[in-house]
Amino acid sequence: MSEKFIPIKAISATSNGIRHWPAPDNIVTSAGESRDRLQRPLRDLRISVTDRCNFRCTYCMPKEVFTKDYPYLSHSELLSFEEITRSASIFVQHGVRKIRLTGGEPLLRKNIEDLIAMLAALRTPEGEALDLTLTTNGSLLRKKAQALRAAGLTRLTVSLDALDDKIFKQMNDVDFPVSDVLDGIHAANQAGFEKIKINMVVKKGVNEQEVVSMARHFKSTPHILRFIEFMDVGDSNAWQAQEVLRSDEIIRLLEAAGMPLIQLPAQQLGETAQRYQHRDCSAELGFISSVSHAFCRDCNRARLSTQGMLYTCLFASEGHDLREHLRAPSYGADSDAIISTIIGQIWQTRDDRYSELRDQARQTEHRKKIEMSYIGG
Ligand code: SAM
Ligand code: SF4
Ligand code: SF4
């Protein structure tokens, strides 16, 4: 893949946390691989398809903030499936090889399988299909798993924070039972998703006692349990450093419970999870340690919000408006090349590394951060 430098001529302007880029004077017709200021390539695109959710996980969409009067986006504000697919195909020209659909709860978006089929038809410049995956709370999986698979979804991640029904309900805060999520995982497995990633956010004093039972449960399955450190995404979840159970503490808990682990080598550059395996060679596990072990150095992820704003960091407070360019009627045949040039400009100017600077940033910055349910995990 050739590397291209796109001269930045346009001057952008910000209003209300949204940066607007004018159509560039010089259009770059073939994108090539983009590198940011820290020489990180663009490989992974996360697309949020809705800002709504049927859960109210206390660490993500606390009930007190996300009430029924919360200003959720209206349908006309959302990118259409055609706009999402068009954007994705331009990102692929810049080096994206993996797309993750997320939200809010992505399975709430009507006919999501149609979008998956459209994205599954995209090809890289080398003619390969993309790695196409989706993260869900599992509540609608029993109903949707077959259709997702048939549409071409290659992999699946299901979030599950506890096996104990009382603790799980306390965390999802809508009284949703564990058994239905487990049933959804089973249905997905039957539909052909073999190694499902299971995301467990661990909060000290809330579900830390579930770490061992979750590890035991998934040890005898083909699935990969991933422990996620509770993160300070957005401004709603009242994050406190002392509520984070660090990955090394989790590893010690598992060892003490008779489940020693061995570390596995990384499979790809920019992986969010450190890979481990039970020492008896049963299931693989993952640790996403964005608080205790920042992994910004290799971060190759961009995020496209439900509304078509591009974010270059999960902890960003500013998005770049791509939707206004996707919808500009005057661009004619140059439209995709204009958007591609702007994406190149945005990625080239990126220098995000929030997790590496977290302590300093939290003390010195008092900016508004974007919510996880809007930007997607
Ligand atoms: N609703 C879907 C779900 O829960 O899987 C997809 C969106 S959710 C925002 C994506 C992932 O982010 C989930 O695995 C969730 O547990 C995780 N997440 C949300 N808030 C978090 C936080 N404050 N810290 C760590 N992980 C978080
Ligand atoms: Fe919904 Fe997922 Fe956030 Fe939970 S983590 S509230 S399921 S978007
Ligand atoms: Fe990437 Fe930002 Fe997370 Fe660092 S903090 S790994 S730059 S998304």
Residues 6+ apart with CB under 8 A from 356: 294, 296, 297
Give yes or no for residue 43 CB within 6 A of ligand 3.
Answer: no
In the prediction, which pLDDT does 9 show?
Answer: 47
Burial class (CB in 10 A: 0-12, 13-18, 19+), 311: buried
Q: Point out which residues pair with 98 in neighbouring strands.
A: 44, 131
Nearest CA to 107 out of 57, 76, 147, 154 is that of 147
In the prediction, which pLDDT does 336 show?
Answer: 95
Q: Calculate helix-pair angle for 81-93, 112-120, nearest 10 degrees.
A: 30
Q: Point out which residues pair with 15 in neighbouring strands.
A: 18
As a whole number of angstroms, the distance between CA 281 and CA 288 comes to 21
Q: How far is the CA of 350 from the centre of ligand 2 (A)?
A: 27
**Could you tell me the CA-to-CA distances from 15 to 79, 295, 350 in Å, in that order?**
20, 30, 19
In the prediction, which pLDDT does 15 show?
Answer: 76
Residues near ligand 2 (Cβ within 6 A): 53, 55-57, 60-61, 103-105, 137, 159, 373
Asked if 10 and 345 touch (Cβ cutoff 8 Å), the reply is yes
* Positions of the chain with pLDDT under 70: 1-11, 30-31, 362-366
Radius of gyration of the chain (CA): 20
- What the block records as the tokens of 137 is 């709370």
Q: How far is the CA of 314 from the centre of ligand 3 (A)?
A: 6
Ligand nearest to the CA of 134: 1
CATH number of 8-375: 3.20.20.70
Nearest CA to 312 out of 322, 324, 303, 321 is that of 303
Alpha carbon nearest to ligand 2 atom 3, residue: 60
Q: How many other CB atoms sit within 10 Å of the CB of residue 281? A: 8
As a whole number of angstroms, the distance between CA 347 and CA 9 comes to 14
Residues 6+ apart with CB under 8 A from 360: none
Q: How far is the CA of 245 from the centre of ligand 3 (A)?
A: 19
pTM for this structure? 0.94
In the prediction, which pLDDT does 229 show?
Answer: 97
Give the side-chain half-sphere CA count within 13 A for 158. Answer: 26
In the prediction, which pLDDT does 365 show?
Answer: 65
Q: Which atom of ligand 1 is nearest to the CA of 157?
A: 5
As a whole number of angstroms, the distance between CA 10 and CA 13 comes to 10
Q: What is the dihedral of CA 294, 299, 301, 302, to 10 degrees?
A: 90
Residue count (the chain)? 377
State the sign of the Cα–Cα–Cα–Cα dihedral 180, 186, 188, 194. positive
Residue pLDDT, tens place only, 90-145: 999 999 999 999 999 999 999 999 999 999 999 999 999 999 999 999 999 999 99
Give me the DSSP letters along 235-257: SSS---GGGB--HHHHHHHHHHT
In the prediction, which pLDDT does 2 show?
Answer: 46
Answer left, alpha or beta for residue 127, where phi above 0 means left and psi between -120 and 50 means alpha: left
- Beta pairing, strands 44-48 & 98-102: parallel
Q: How far is the CA of 333 from the centre of ligand 3 (A)?
A: 35
